[in-house]
């Protein structure tokens, strides 16, 4: 695909990282985990990750947005909320990528108020260079430079989510 400047992580690298993360998560929890995927980007990662978790898993989703196109607005909105109660339960938030940290820090505060027993975060990618709000992330696939990445759930204007790898989007597409 000519829009992709470089492939950062292949399908095989992604699968291996999910196996590694699944083992860590399985060993850290004793019982059931409520795994909350953040729509839409986390869906492919979450689907691969939960296959690797040995604990009982309850899946739920939230759609939380602070983006329009390629930039963050700073305003966080909940577009879809949880269907299950999390009071007294272990919650694992699954993200595709953590950028500024604003959306996630807002989400953590909401879930704490709902009485979760514990809240941990698992992200496939993190961009610490762009962090504006510090977020404690227990499970990280990879740290990446400040590239515009797409594929494996990540998009630019809803395109490229279906790529089986993660690549750097060519600047000519979004500038």
90, 96, 99, 155: which is the annotated catalytic residue?
A: 99
Helix (H, G, I), strand (E, B) or coil at 29: coil
3 is catalytic: no
Question: Which runs of consecutive H residues, i.e. helices, occur in 29-162?
Answer: 43-50, 102-113
Q: Indicate the pairing of strand 118-126 with strand 4-9.
A: unpaired
How far is the CA of 122 from the CAs of 46, 87, 135, 142, 149, in angstroms? 9, 20, 11, 11, 18
Residues 33, 53 contacting (CB under 8 angstroms)? yes
How large is the C-alpha radius of gyration of the chain? 16
Catalytically active residues, by annotation: 99
């Amino acid at each position: 695909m000519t829009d992709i400047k470089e492939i950062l992580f292949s399908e095989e690298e992604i699968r291996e990282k999910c196996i590694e993360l699944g083992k860590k998560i399985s060993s850290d929890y004793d019982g059931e985990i409520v795994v909350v995927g953040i729509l839409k980007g986390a869906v492919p990662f979450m689907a691969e990750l939960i296959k690797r978790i040995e604990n009982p898993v309850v899946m739920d989703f939230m759609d939380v947005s602070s983006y329009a196109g390629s930039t963050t607005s700073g305003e966080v909105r909940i577009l879809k909320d949880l269907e299950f109660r999390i009071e007294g339960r272990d919650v694992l938030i699954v993200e595709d990528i953590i950028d500024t940290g604003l959306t996630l820090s807002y989400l953590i505060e909401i879930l704490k108020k709902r009485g979760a027993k514990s809240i941990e975060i698992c992200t496939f990618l993190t961009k610490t260079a762009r962090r504006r709000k510090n977020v404690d992330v227990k499970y990280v696939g990879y740290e990446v430079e400040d590239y515009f990445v797409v594929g494996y759930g990540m998009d630019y204007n809803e395109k490229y989510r279906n790529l089986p790898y993660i690549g750097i989007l060519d600047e000519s597409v979004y500038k």
